[in-house]
């Protein structure tokens, strides 16, 4: 098989990266994608750095064994824990990560306060701390670790009372703060965008890094001469460490939100 025709590997701790996959298939409709979600070990955001590093490296190397031409680490937590190491180990493989979209939110003309929602591990890591510090002069960047939120999404609590109760408690301290932007710094969170909007209770812009990641993937494939030349539609394949989640993967891939 020509190198250009090989699939693009996709990885997340579970279902979240499907929100990024959707942006990538929309931008690159002729590419094949092979998505692996590690739902057995989700949530990653509440594990140790070493554990997330090991799980991520193992998953990416399994995708490489299946012949992928590039890899998207569609998980903010795994990106912050392992991307530097992965690039060191595999310097010839295009590896695209994702990080909270703090920059566009902080630089928006009407933005003075930006609330960044992410997993505890993402927020604790150096990579995020540096990112937040770089934009703290342009906006008040408030970091909000959301312990348990990715797990609720994995369990399918998207728009029910369990999700509402969780978000009401989470947002309580911000009831009287002015916040113009919420940044979704975890790929599971776009699936609960309407619940977030409803429970935040005030008009707010909500942004995530999916489109930026898709554009970055396209640029890197172009630069490496790896864009598919086929005209036919590409194919999406899901794999999961909990095989019973495959149906759920397709459901989320096709969900309108």
Query: Any idea which residues carry the catalytic annotation?
Result: 75, 186
Q: Which of 25, 111, 122, 239 contacts ligand DGL by CB under 6 A?
A: 122
β-pair partners for 34:
9, 237
**What's the rounded Cα separation, in Å, for the pair 225 and 179?**
42
Check binding of 210 to ligand DGL (CB under 6 A): no
Omega of the bond leading into 43 within 30 degrees of 0 (cis):
yes
Beta carbon of residue 127, minimum distance to ligand DGL (angstroms, whole number)? 12
Nearer to ligand DGL, 9 or 45 (CB): 45
Nearer to ligand DGL, 226 or 245 (CB): 245
DSSP string for residues in 60-98: HHHHHHTT-SEEEE--HHHHHHHHHHHHHH-TTS-EE--
Q: Cβ distance 228 to 192 under 8 Å?
A: no
**What's the rounded Cα separation, in Å, for the pair 117 and 167?**
11
Nearer to ligand DGL, 4 or 241 (CB): 241
Handedness of CA 110, 116, 122, 126 (dihedral sign): positive
Nearer to ligand DGL, 25 or 39 (CB): 39
Nearer to ligand DGL, 43 or 94 (CB): 43
Beta carbon of residue 175, minimum distance to ligand DGL (angstroms, whole number)? 26
**What's the rounded Cα separation, in Å, for the pair 68 and 228?**
13
Check binding of 213 to ligand DGL (CB under 6 A): no
Determine the interface stretch with ligand DGL among 89-97, 169-177, 185-193, 198-206 (rule: CB under 6 A).
185-193
What DSSP state is assigned to residue 234?
A: P
DSSP reduced 3-state for 46 = helix
Q: Which of 7, 9, 37, 43 contacts ligand DGL by CB under 6 A?
A: 43
Beta carbon of residue 187, minimum distance to ligand DGL (angstroms, whole number)? 4
Q: Cβ distance 65 to 58 under 8 Å?
A: no
Determine the interface stretch with ligand DGL among 71-79, 107-115, 202-210, 246-254 (rule: CB under 6 A).
71-79
Beta carbon of residue 256, minimum distance to ligand DGL (angstroms, whole number)? 20
Number of Cβ atoms within 10 Å of the Cβ of 222:
10
Beta carbon of residue 190, minimum distance to ligand DGL (angstroms, whole number)? 10
Chain residues that interact with ligand DGL, rule: CB under 6 A: 12-14, 16, 42-45, 75-77, 119, 122, 150, 186-188
């Amino acid at each position: 098989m020509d190198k250009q025709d090989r699939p693009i590997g996709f990885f997340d701790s579970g279902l979240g990266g499907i929100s990024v996959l959707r942006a990538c298939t929309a931008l690159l409709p002729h590419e094949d994608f092979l998505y692996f979600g590690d739902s057995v070990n989700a949530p990653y955001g509440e594990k140790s750095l070493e554990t997330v590093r090991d799980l991520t490296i193992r998953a990416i190397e399994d995708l490489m064994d299946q012949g992928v031409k590039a890899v998207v680490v569609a998980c903010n937590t795994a990106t912050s824990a392992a991307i530097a190491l992965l690039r060191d180990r595999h310097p010839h493989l295009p590896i695209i990560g994702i990080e909270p979209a703090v920059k566009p939110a902080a630089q928006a003309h009407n933005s003075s306060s930006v609330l960044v929602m992410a997993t505890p591990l993402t927020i604790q890591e150096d990579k995020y701390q540096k990112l937040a510090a770089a934009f703290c002069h342009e906006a008040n960047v408030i970091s909000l670790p959301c312990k348990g939120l990715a797990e609720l999404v994995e369990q399918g609590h998207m728009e029910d009372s369990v999700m509402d109760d969780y978000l009401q408690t989470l947002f309580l301290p911000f009831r009287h703060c002015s916040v113009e932007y919420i940044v979704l710094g975890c790929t599971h969170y776009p699936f609960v965008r309407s619940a977030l909007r409803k429970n935040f209770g005030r008009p707010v812009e909500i942004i995530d890094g999916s489109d930026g990641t898709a554009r970055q993937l396209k640029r890197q494939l172009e630069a490496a001469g790896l864009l598919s030349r086929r005209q036919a539609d590409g194919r999406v394949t899901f794999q999961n460490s909990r095989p019973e989640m495959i149906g759920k993967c397709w459901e989320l891939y096709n969900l309108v939100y």
